[in-house]
Amino acid sequence: MTQREPATRLLAPAARAPFLRAYQARTLLGLLRGAQTARGATFTVMFPRQSGKNEVAAALVACLLWTNAARGGSVVVCAPAFRPQSRISIERTREALAALAPLAPPGVQARTAGNVITFGRARAVFLSAAVGAHVAGHTASLGLIADEAQEIEATWFDRQFRPMAASTGAPTALFGTPWDGTTLLERAVAANREHDARGGAVRLHHEVSWREVAASLPAYGDYVRYERNRLGPNHPLYLSQYELVASDAAGRLLSPGQLALIEGSHPRECTPRPGERYAGGLDLGGEG
């Protein structure tokens, strides 16, 4: 995607995407418009769980391929693991391109070979972002996209993936949900929210609430309300997956409030007292 690309041509496939709901299409159009004027920027997208953010990511890849079919270029798409996440992304991108087939130039069709989809002279490469995966040597000239970015190790992504767009100025888009406030995605979201609050010309962070999703899908709202009642409104999983609020209790068996309730008032003891009985506990709720 270049600054010379006419906006009408760039946004045409997005505006005609029949497989997107209104909030998904709005997010996609915002990403495409922003990327035209903010070369090299990092965009962030947060949707509640199972509300279609990965479909937006696939549509973004499809639009970039469609727009650059004649000129060529490459999109790099990564996910925490190749199987199943990257494989699912490949299938979703194929479906998005199939939906846009009536708009394709004559004789141009999508072809898939392994982890690569080509559309005319443009191509999308799907990679694993797992630490230790062999990903060196790729270049992202049209876009660098990370699905479930909250699960990607930040240092690894910064070292192995960000340089892929260094010489091209391609935009980066991180998709996911919050966790504990320290992840790759959440660091970028915090910076983007500050940028947007200052009134930047280009909106960098895009977010959709579960209530907006429920307005389009009533069954989704019923499910989220059920989860809120089942887990409790302050449960870290409910907060992060549906309210899009990072929880300082994420990865813990007990929340800070619960830990405070069991904290004793006696001074710390380094050795047991003779004749006393002690109970030991092990927190198995952490990551890994």
Mean pLDDT (the chain) is 88
Residue partners of 105: CB distance under 8 A and separation at least 6: 69, 70, 120
Contact 133, 85 (CB under 8 A): no
The label of the residue with tokens 């004559």 reads 106
Residue spans of alpha helices (H) in 161-217: 184-197, 210-216
Q: What is the pLDDT of residue 10?
A: 47
Q: Which of 258, 266, 247 is nearest to 283 (CA)?
A: 258
Contact 161, 187 (CB under 8 A): no
Q: What is the pLDDT of residue 209?
A: 98
Length of the chain: 288
Task: Give yes or no for residue 55 having a pLDDT over 60.
Answer: yes
pLDDT digits (tens, 9 = 90+) for 26-45: 999 999 999 888 989 999 99
Strands 116-119 and 110-113: antiparallel
Q: Is 270 exposed, middle or buried (0-12, 13-18, 19+ CB in 10 A)?
A: exposed
pLDDT digits (tens, 9 = 90+) for 174-188: 999 999 999 999 999
State in Å, rounded, how far the first CA of the chain is from the last one: 39
Task: Give yes or no for residue 259 having a pLDDT over 80.
Answer: no
Q: How far is CA 148 from the centre of its chain?
A: 4
The label of the residue with tokens 């198995």 reads 284
Q: What is the pLDDT of residue 46?
A: 98
Q: How far apart are CA 181 and CA 271, in angstroms?
A: 36
pLDDT digits (tens, 9 = 90+) for 156-172: 999 999 999 999 999 99
Instruction: Copy the structure tokens of residue 129.
Output: 């972002």
Residue partners of 286: CB distance under 8 A and separation at least 6: 251, 252, 253
Instruction: Copy the structure tokens of residue 227.
Output: 């989860």
How many of the other CB atoms lie within 10 Å of CB of 95? 15
Q: Of all residues in the chain, what percent carry a pLDDT higher than 90?
A: 70
pTM of this prediction?
Answer: 0.82
Task: Give yes or no for residue 8 having a pLDDT over 80.
Answer: no
Residue partners of 191: CB distance under 8 A and separation at least 6: 42
CATH superfamily to which 7-208 belongs: P-loop containing nucleotide triphosphate hydrolases (3.40.50.300)
How many of the other CB atoms lie within 10 Å of CB of 245? 13
Select the more confidently predicted residue: 7 or 172. Answer: 172
Average pLDDT of the residues in 85-96: 95
**Identity at 241, one-letter amino acid code:** Q
Average pLDDT of the residues in 104-113: 85
List the domain boundaries for the chain.
7-208, 216-261
Q: Which of 242, 245, 247, 244 is nearest to 224 (CA)?
A: 242
Residue spans of alpha helices (H) in the chain: 7-15, 22-37, 53-67, 87-99, 154-160, 184-197, 210-216, 218-231, 236-241, 256-261
